Amino acid sequence: MRELSESEKLEDVLKEKSLCVVDFFATWCGPCKKVSAELDVLESKHADTLFVKVDVDTHESLAVEYSVESLPTVVVFKDAVKIGSFVGASPKLSEQIAKLLV
Protein backbone atom coordinates (compact mmCIF):
# COMPACT_ATOMS: atom_id res chain seq x y z
CA MET A 1 0.00 0.00 0.00
CA ARG A 2 1.32 3.40 -0.96
CA GLU A 3 2.17 5.83 1.84
CA LEU A 4 1.57 9.54 1.29
CA SER A 5 4.91 11.30 1.16
CA GLU A 6 5.60 14.63 2.81
CA SER A 7 5.68 16.34 -0.59
CA GLU A 8 2.36 14.92 -1.85
CA LYS A 9 -1.02 16.53 -1.36
CA LEU A 10 -3.86 14.17 -0.50
CA GLU A 11 -6.32 16.18 -2.59
CA ASP A 12 -4.16 15.50 -5.67
CA VAL A 13 -3.77 11.80 -4.86
CA LEU A 14 -7.56 11.42 -4.52
CA LYS A 15 -7.92 12.46 -8.17
CA GLU A 16 -5.70 9.64 -9.46
CA LYS A 17 -8.49 7.03 -9.43
CA SER A 18 -12.26 7.18 -9.04
CA LEU A 19 -12.20 5.09 -5.84
CA CYS A 20 -9.69 5.69 -3.09
CA VAL A 21 -9.29 4.16 0.37
CA VAL A 22 -7.27 6.24 2.81
CA ASP A 23 -5.88 4.63 5.96
CA PHE A 24 -5.05 7.21 8.64
CA PHE A 25 -2.59 5.50 10.98
CA ALA A 26 0.33 5.97 13.36
CA THR A 27 3.39 3.75 13.69
CA TRP A 28 2.79 3.37 17.45
CA CYS A 29 -0.84 2.20 16.98
CA GLY A 30 -1.25 -1.57 17.41
CA PRO A 31 -4.75 -1.87 15.87
CA CYS A 32 -3.50 0.15 12.87
CA LYS A 33 -1.21 -2.75 11.94
CA LYS A 34 -4.15 -5.18 11.89
CA VAL A 35 -6.21 -2.84 9.72
CA SER A 36 -3.28 -2.26 7.38
CA ALA A 37 -2.93 -6.02 6.82
CA GLU A 38 -6.66 -6.28 6.02
CA LEU A 39 -6.39 -3.38 3.59
CA ASP A 40 -3.45 -5.06 1.84
CA VAL A 41 -5.72 -8.05 1.15
CA LEU A 42 -8.52 -5.78 -0.10
CA GLU A 43 -6.06 -3.92 -2.31
CA SER A 44 -5.07 -7.17 -4.02
CA LYS A 45 -8.75 -7.78 -4.89
CA HIS A 46 -9.53 -4.23 -6.06
CA ALA A 47 -6.90 -3.20 -8.60
CA ASP A 48 -9.12 -0.36 -9.81
CA THR A 49 -9.04 1.27 -6.35
CA LEU A 50 -6.19 3.37 -4.97
CA PHE A 51 -5.15 2.51 -1.41
CA VAL A 52 -3.14 5.15 0.47
CA LYS A 53 -1.72 5.29 4.01
CA VAL A 54 -1.45 8.63 5.82
CA ASP A 55 0.76 8.80 8.92
CA VAL A 56 -1.05 11.25 11.22
CA ASP A 57 2.19 12.09 13.03
CA THR A 58 3.71 13.26 9.75
CA HIS A 59 0.51 14.80 8.35
CA GLU A 60 -1.15 16.31 11.43
CA SER A 61 -3.01 18.92 9.39
CA LEU A 62 -4.69 16.20 7.30
CA ALA A 63 -5.83 14.43 10.46
CA VAL A 64 -7.50 17.67 11.53
CA GLU A 65 -8.91 18.40 8.06
CA TYR A 66 -10.51 14.94 7.79
CA SER A 67 -11.70 14.88 11.43
CA VAL A 68 -9.53 11.93 12.46
CA GLU A 69 -10.04 11.69 16.21
CA SER A 70 -9.24 8.00 16.79
CA LEU A 71 -6.96 5.49 15.17
CA PRO A 72 -7.16 3.66 12.95
CA THR A 73 -9.54 5.64 10.74
CA VAL A 74 -10.25 4.52 7.18
CA VAL A 75 -12.00 6.90 4.79
CA VAL A 76 -13.37 5.88 1.39
CA PHE A 77 -13.63 8.44 -1.41
CA LYS A 78 -15.39 8.30 -4.77
CA ASP A 79 -14.36 10.99 -7.25
CA ALA A 80 -12.58 12.77 -4.37
CA VAL A 81 -15.80 12.93 -2.31
CA LYS A 82 -16.00 11.10 1.03
CA ILE A 83 -18.55 8.27 0.84
CA GLY A 84 -17.68 6.35 4.00
CA SER A 85 -15.61 6.42 7.16
CA PHE A 86 -14.69 3.67 9.60
CA VAL A 87 -13.01 3.99 13.00
CA GLY A 88 -11.30 1.15 14.84
CA ALA A 89 -10.32 -2.40 13.99
CA SER A 90 -13.79 -3.90 13.54
CA PRO A 91 -13.92 -7.60 12.61
CA LYS A 92 -16.18 -6.69 9.66
CA LEU A 93 -14.12 -3.72 8.45
CA SER A 94 -12.96 -5.35 5.21
CA GLU A 95 -16.49 -6.44 4.40
CA GLN A 96 -17.89 -2.96 5.08
CA ILE A 97 -15.26 -1.26 2.93
CA ALA A 98 -15.68 -3.78 0.10
CA LYS A 99 -19.39 -2.88 -0.13
CA LEU A 100 -18.39 0.68 -1.03
CA LEU A 101 -15.93 -0.44 -3.71
CA VAL A 102 -18.52 -1.63 -6.22
Active site residues: 29, 32
Q: How far is CA 10 from the centre of its chain?
A: 11
DSSP code of residue 25: E
Helix (H, G, I), strand (E, B) or coil at 36: helix
Contact 31, 88 (CB under 8 A): yes
